[in-house]
Chain A
Amino acid sequence: KNQVEQSPQSLIILEGKNCTLQCNYTVSPFSNLRWYKQDTGRGPVSLTIMTFSENTKSNGRYTATLDADTKQSSLHITASQLSDSASYICVVSDRGSTLGRLYFGRGTQLTVWP
């Protein structure tokens, strides 16, 4: 069964600190993996996208890693800011259909305190 599991479910950190969010997936055949940021009451916004051959992708203070062999990904946030408070969703796409079926994790709810 194709699944995407994220951990932790929630995380509280102090402003300025770093954190790492985890994503494990069983989606096959794998096409790509995306990390989205979803602010409360808003739609998700894409942060990074990685294909099978990519190990690392950065977007400002966000750095995503992918290990396609172990089917794991992480999102590292450096020097957190209050505006980083949001839900971070891992999304994996398969190659099994023309639609490019997306499998969503439940997200990690990050809260940054001053």
Chain B
Amino acid sequence: EADIYQTPRYLVIGTGKKITLECSQTMGHDKMYWYQQDPGMELHLIHYSYGVNSTEKGDLSSESTVSRIRTEHFPLTLESARPSHTSQYLCASSENLLHQETQYFGPGTRLLVL
């Protein structure tokens, strides 16, 4: 069982609200990731980090932002939520190995924007 946690698990919020999705891991992993997944579709990488103070945008354009102030913590923020942001958001982490590392996923946050 991976030691990676996400809160909240479910969130229903109105349009225009600011939200922060929390992700934390206790494995000491350097690399962390945020993915977006719609039902029946593949995971899309939206943000990743190599370590503290490192953040990069992924393949899927996203209006969200991330920060990496501590190794174990990688929160994702939406300044103004819209219905198009409704999706499942998965956080993952991995060791800093070249190409061979396995990503460990959190349980996900299901976001519904009304």
Contact = CB atoms under 8 A, between A and B. Distances in A.
Interface of A: 4, 31-32, 34, 41-46, 49, 51, 89, 93, 95, 98-100, 102, 104-107, 109
Interface string B47-70: 010000000000000000000000
A102 B45 contact: yes
B110 interface: yes
A99 B107 contact: no
Contacts of B110: 41
A107 B107 contact: no
Contacts of A100: 98-101
A4 B98 CA distance: 21
Contacts of A45: 2, 105
Given A44-B90, A106-B40, 7 more contacts: A43-B92, A43-B106, A46-B103, A49-B102, A104-B42, A105-B42, A106-B42
Interface of B: 2, 4, 6, 40-45, 48, 90-92, 98-108, 110
Contacts, number: 54
A77 B98 CA distance: 30
Residue of B43, B91, B105, B106 most packed against chain A (CB within 10 A)? B43
A1 B106 CA distance: 29
A31 B99 contact: yes
A46 B99 contact: no
A44 B43 CA distance: 10
A107 B38 CA distance: 12
Contacts of A44: 43, 90, 105
B108 A42 contact: yes
Contact of B100 (A32, A41, A102, A106): A32
B102 A104 contact: no
A8 B110 CA distance: 26
A99 B103 CA distance: 12
Given A42-B108, A43-B107, A43-B108, A106 B102 contact: no
